[in-house]
Chains A and B, each alone.
Chain A
């Protein structure tokens, strides 16, 4: 075992640092539109240098670099150190672009990738519906061809759409073959959300988020999208939606985030003067056992990815592991904050200035950690995946039907 990245990576690190020191940060007095323009120009320069959008071809605004997970990691580390912005976040880069690169037509790539990379297109994920969550393949939002066969006409409802109020576009799963078996009757469509047939409404979250800061529901009433915006074959949408980002996916990013959060939990114990309590010390170290297991397993996944080896079932466990650790941290935080739990943290739910906040700020984590056990596949579904795909246990009837 060796956790150093090697000489070539260190030389590369020096290049990244040199780049960052001449391009970041912006002047302290830069504000508003000027700051936005600066960041845009910075991203363009970083892409030109080969540091951002490495999986995206040059003609679509990327830097088209060969896969190199170590370089990708060095870039993440150095950008984080300099607090420089990386690629635009959200569904667009995580889901739309990889799906289009793998399954999209040239026209679709041309139309959407550059706009997404440059942050002009923001994508909502239109999967869940009021009647379809874990059983996603049961979606009922209907797509029918227009009389001339040039457009899909969409009717139905999507729900829990993160970033829905900001989204300009949506990728969605729509039932187009009502008579086919459920996994085989779905088509994957891209749609422009700014049209008369689309209505959106924010749903207030348990954390208090509302307005622009929360997830949404969307109503489709004869909304339209060109047939040329359909990704993959008609009826094959379920399989298109299984496309995941393979390029340089392994990172130890979530482990760093978890480690930072754990360090803050220790700080909290100090702040509320409980760090000397043996029960608290034991509980903290117990949680840290899991935090470190997650961290070093991330190293393992990263190392396997760099070597092109399959790490086995452990990769299926990372989401549930993170969720479970989040719960444990929430429970201890709740013990530590004591009566601060009576106070709603300033700026909770994205309302107003966060200002200086005391131990009550942990309420954000205490509630927010629950989102992890639902979004992106509920924990029970994760357990099914570990049991069936990881351990090879016989499939549950609920999970069967997929080819």
Chain B
């Protein structure tokens, strides 16, 4: 029985956290957010140099849980770059028996995830490869340019800007048919990684709020001493911290191929994306005026919360699936 992180897993998270902290101090996030790019090569290379790209390779000795731990830290850092797409493209390509995965696993070729049926794709302009995962139509790998049209839009999430993308009929290569169990597994894995991103972001804004409440003074004392605010912060923590284990379980269930893995993924995505939205709203409220500014930066996580919620299907969509999967 082991259901908490190992020292090794914590060390990996620390390494990712350190690298992303170097890449994405708040000034860099501001600069990226105000620029036009949907990708940042230098930070991506630094992240990929840690070897994250290959986490979901069958012989890596790691699994979706480790991938989720990395995505959690990316969510915390508000990192740019299609980490979830990259991890899953490697997994998909490996599962389809492709021989040379070096360019993908090293992150040299950038892959992004396309949610079947959605026109909005993060980091589309930088992507070399599109992994299209569609429960109803199967999994495709589409190289950039091969029947892909990209239309830039003004994206609300400034750290993971989306574009509108259309694929020509039959573009790219079909890896798995809709009925192939791997299709559903990849779609489930995407939900778990999105939930992990939401967890990281929700924890981050909770930590920011707590730290601010200890430092900001009004009426001659730290505002965190006022019970109304203290209780708001306690509720944020109560919302976020127990939900961590929901993400762990969903990832573990996927890795162990437990029968309830698909449902656990749906529950984790639905629950954590709601938590993230609640946490970012509460964080702005807890900060007062400074929280409402662009400069302070909370808005990046707020926008990421809106992104995670809308991406890959809304919480209510996944709760409806979870209800069906339980045969209610």
Contacts and interface: CB of A to CB of B under 8 A. Distances in A.
B278 to A, nearest CB: 12
What's the interface size class on B, roughly?
A: 35 or more
Contacts of B237: 313, 317, 386, 390-391
Contacts of B222: 393-394
A1 B249 CA distance: 8
Contact of A321 (B238, B319, B326): B238
Given A266-B328, A284-B323, A317-B237, A307 B4 contact: yes
A1 B2 contact: yes
B246 interface: yes
Interface stretch (B12-20, B34-42, B45-53, B227-235): B227-235
Contacts of A383: 230-231, 234-235
A318 B316 CA distance: 26
Interface stretch (A178-186, A228-236, A286-294): A286-294
A3 interface: yes
Interface string B268-281: 00110010000000
A391 B210 contact: yes
Interface in B196-211: 210
Nearest to A1: B252
Contacts of A2: 1-3
A256 B328 CA distance: 20
B321 to A, nearest CB: 9
Interface in B69-107: none
A387 B233 contact: yes
A40 interface: no
Interface in B279-324: 316, 319-320, 322-323
A3 B238 contact: no
Nearest to A285: B319
Contacts of B192: none
A4 B246 contact: no
A285 B3 contact: no
A70 interface: yes
A384 B267 CA distance: 30
A388 interface: yes
Interface stretch (A79-87, A160-168, A296-304, A344-352): A296-304
A387 B249 contact: no
A310 B238 CA distance: 18
Contact of B4 (A292, A293, A303): A303
A293 B230 contact: no
Given A2-B1, A70-B1, A288-B322, A282 B316 contact: yes
Interface centre among B2, B222, B243 (most CB of A within 10 A): B2
B225 interface: yes
Interface string A101-131: 0000000000000000000000000000000
A269 B328 contact: yes
A285 B241 CA distance: 19
A396 interface: yes
Given A296-B3, A324-B238, A396-B225, A3 B252 contact: yes
Contacts of B322: 285, 288
Interface in A365-403: 380, 383-384, 386-388, 390-396
Contacts of B251: 1
A196 interface: no
Contact of B3 (A1, A282, A313): A1
A275 B327 CA distance: 10
A320 interface: yes
A135 to B, nearest CB: 14
A289 B271 contact: yes
Nearest to B230: A387
A29 interface: no
A244 to B, nearest CB: 21
A5 interface: yes
B242 A393 contact: no
A9 B225 CA distance: 47
B248 interface: yes
B245 interface: yes
A304 to B, nearest CB: 5
B1 A4 contact: yes
Contacts of B316: 282
B323 A394 contact: no
A311 interface: yes
A317 B1 contact: no
A356 interface: no
Interface in A1-33: 1-6, 9
B149 interface: no
A219 B246 CA distance: 48
B2 A393 contact: no
A304 B4 contact: yes
A289 B246 contact: yes
B113 to A, nearest CB: 24
A391 B4 CA distance: 20
A306 interface: yes
A262 to B, nearest CB: 11
B230 A384 contact: yes
A109 to B, nearest CB: 33
B141 interface: no
A289 B270 CA distance: 8
Given A393-B210, A394-B222, A299 B234 contact: no
B198 to A, nearest CB: 12
Contact of A296 (B2, B231, B248, B319): B248
B13 to A, nearest CB: 15
B310 to A, nearest CB: 17
B214 A303 contact: no
A288 B213 CA distance: 32
B262 interface: no
24 contacts: A5-B1, A6-B1, A275-B328, A284-B328, A286-B271, A286-B274, A290-B242, A292-B264, A293-B271, A299-B249, A300-B3, A300-B4, A300-B248, A304-B4, A314-B242, A314-B244, A317-B237, A383-B235, A391-B233, A392-B214, A393-B210, A393-B213, A393-B230, A396-B225
Given A2-B1, A281-B320, 19 more contacts: A9-B1, A70-B1, A275-B328, A285-B270, A289-B271, A296-B248, A297-B244, A303-B2, A313-B241, A317-B238, A383-B230, A391-B233, A393-B213, A393-B222, A393-B225, A393-B233, A394-B214, A394-B222, A395-B225
Closest 5 CB pairs of A and B: A289-B271, A296-B245, A285-B319, A303-B3, A387-B230
